[in-house]
Amino acid sequence: MPARQVGKGSLRASILSDTAQHALWIGKPEDALTYVDYALVRSDRLMPVHQALLHTMRARVLATMRRPQDTLTAISQADEHMSHARPDDDPHYMGYYDTAEHSAIVGEALADLAPTGHGTAEATRRLTTAVHGYGPTYTRSKTLTEIRLATHTLTTGDPREAAHIAAGALDHTDTLRSQRALTNLRHLNHHTTRHTAIPEIADLNHRLTTHLTDA
């Protein structure tokens, strides 16, 4: 297949994937699903790493829509494509999508499924893998994933462990000025209010409240 044709297909898929992510961010999962499904048209022309990214994006959308079986199917497809990825052959603009980033997005999807009773333990495993897998140049991604892991742990596991994870993330949040980071911190802080009888969580609540007030 001509490289030009592959390049055009990859650009089209990237634009549609970014559009889907934006639609999901502003609370329009149905639109997001439409965009990502368009991106997957003739995805056989894409490199495995790009196919993996699209299927993890689809999993995120489906999880938000509380469709557990479809989400798990999308994750399985994403994992399969990722297993065939060869970093040395991937285009430079996909260099950020490594095993850590893949684990982070899959973990987020599974964490979104937790209220349905699916994927709780696997979400913890994937998010933990991502936190430990990010290199020193990906501090922002690591911190965002730590916040997500802390929230997931707080709502499904050990609150004290969640406080420990969150404390590590907060050590780096002063350097983050994104709306996404603030939204995730507010979400975490909302859940701390249910556990303030635990000293570690009370301390975390105070620290989060102070940080968000000053932001």
pLDDT confidence tier of residue 93, bands split at 50, 70 and 90: confident
Residue 76 burial class via C-beta count within 10 angstroms: exposed 0-12, middle 13-18, buried 19 and up? exposed
Please report the pLDDT score of residue 71 as a whole number. Answer: 97
For 35-81, the pLDDT digits (tens) are 999 999 988 889 999 999 999 999 999 999 999 999 999 999 999 99
Q: Which two tokens stand for residue 201?
A: 């969580």
155 Cβ contact partners less than 8 Å away, ≥ 6 residues apart: 114, 191
Please report the pLDDT score of residue 11 as a whole number. Answer: 84
CA 185, 93, 18, 66 torsion: positive or negative?
negative
- Mean pLDDT over 104-133 rounds to 95
Give the span between the Cα atoms of 183 and 18, in whole angstroms.
19
For 138-184, the pLDDT digits (tens) are 989 999 999 999 999 999 999 999 999 999 888 877 666 678 888 99
Q: How many CB atoms within 10 Å of residue 172?
A: 16
CB contact at 8 A, 107 and 148: yes
For 10-29, the pLDDT digits (tens) are 888 889 999 999 999 999 99
Exposure on the CB side of residue 210, measured as CA atoms within 13 A: 8
To which CATH superfamily is domain 3-133 assigned?
A: Tetratricopeptide repeat domain (1.25.40.10)
pTM above threshold 0.85: yes
Q: Where are the alpha helices (DSSP H) in the chain?
A: 3-25, 29-39, 48-64, 68-83, 99-113, 120-133, 139-156, 159-170, 179-192, 199-214
Please report the pLDDT score of residue 45 as a whole number. Answer: 87
Please report the pLDDT score of residue 215 as a whole number. Answer: 67
Q: CA nearest 102: which of 62, 74, 121?
A: 74
Residue 91 has pLDDT above 50, yes or no: yes
| Strand, helix or coil for residue 175 | helix
Q: Domain boundaries in the chain?
A: 3-133
Q: Which two tokens stand for residue 109?
A: 């999807």
